[in-house]
Amino acid sequence: MQLLFVADPIASFKIHKDTTFAMMRQAQTRGHAIWVCEAADLHWSGGGWKDAAASPVSAVCRRIELTGATQGKDWYRVLDQRPLALRDVDAVLMRKDPPFDSEYFYATHLLQQAEREGAAVFNSPQALRDHPEKLAILEFAQFIAPTLVSRRAAEIKTFYAEHGDIILKPLDGMGGTGIFRLRQQADGSPDPNLNVVIETLTANGATTIMAQRFLPEIAQGDKRVLIIDGEPVPYSLARIPQGGETRGNLAAGGLGVAQPLSETDWAIARALGPVLAARGLLLVGIDIIGDRLTEINVTSPTCFQEITQQSGCDVAARFISALERAVARARAH
């Protein structure tokens, strides 16, 4: 197959842990050709009256080959560089990292146009737009902790007064950025940073945020559970806070420990998996603290390499097998 990865600049990849690199490595092992471009390279042109032919969604792409190097910047070589119409490759993998900003949004519309022209895009561009990673959990409220989504300070303060120990986070953050914990003092008085944190995160009421009851089970890790084509991977990566941190995110210094899924992990993943797969989400990473779902990650889920290295479960092999099946299904239709 000809695979096109739409990703961040590949020269910036940390290949010892990068999930997109793991996908590429497994794909090359199976004989698939690897092409790369960035979201900024996507373009389309057309319009006008009769006889005005549209140019399909295309990008200047590089065909690369992995060299086998395990560090440094010599892990790939460029074999070819030329414009490609996305409909002319077998699969387009959208692996641009968050944030889901305006440019990411526009890229999903170009990718959806490529789908209309015959391209097979994973994850589905429409599904990417329909499942914002913080807010997607609201559909599955039976699995989540007490949660409030609001921009109003009064509502957030009421939620804080009810629960006494809460997490506040922006809806567009990643890697644990912008997350605050607010809790009552030993004497029962409010957290002295209550007002300033609310004002800062909401931009004085202009920006909607999420509040959730603090889950003390975070001490045992924020578990990343991967779901591939509706099927859970049997191991999660528990990202355990270090050095007094509240956040377990690896980007915030958390320690990643692979472990078998718990019964609750299986139950949540099996409930969500088929629903999300039916919407065109081939790869999903759900986050679970204790027995509560906290996020549904669809833009560029990670942790393939950490799980594989510690458990022996080859996550990239599972993913490429699922991708091969998905492409075969797309061709059949």
Residue 325 appears among annotated catalytic residues:
no
Kindly name the residue from 90, 172, 229, 287 that is annotated as catalytic.
287
Kindly name the residue from 213, 223, 224, 292 that is annotated as catalytic.
224
Q: Which two tokens stand for residue 163?
A: 């629960």
Residue 295 appears among annotated catalytic residues:
yes
Residue 239 appears among annotated catalytic residues:
yes
Kindly name the residue from 62, 95, 239, 318 that is annotated as catalytic.
239
Q: CA nearest 225: which of 128, 293, 130, 132?
A: 293
Q: Which residues pair with 72 in a beta bridge?
A: none
Residue 331 appears among annotated catalytic residues:
no
Residue 123 appears among annotated catalytic residues:
no
Kindly name the residue from 247, 249, 292, 318 that is annotated as catalytic.
247
Question: β-strand 180-183 against 165-170: which pairing, if any?
Answer: antiparallel
Is residue 282 within 8 A of residue 289, CB to CB? The reply is: no
Residue 30 appears among annotated catalytic residues:
no
Kindly name the residue from 172, 229, 295, 306 that is annotated as catalytic.
295
Residue 224 appears among annotated catalytic residues:
yes
Going 5 to 87 to 126 to 26, the CA torsion angle's sign is negative
Residue 249 appears among annotated catalytic residues:
no
How far apart CA 128 and CA 157 sit, in angstroms, is: 32
User: Any idea what the Cα angle at residue 30 is, between residues 27 and 36, rounded to 5°?
Assistant: 30
How far apart CA 315 and CA 312 sit, in angstroms, is: 9
The residue to which tokens 């889950």 are assigned: 215
Q: Which residues are catalytic?
A: 134, 169, 224, 239, 247, 287, 295, 297
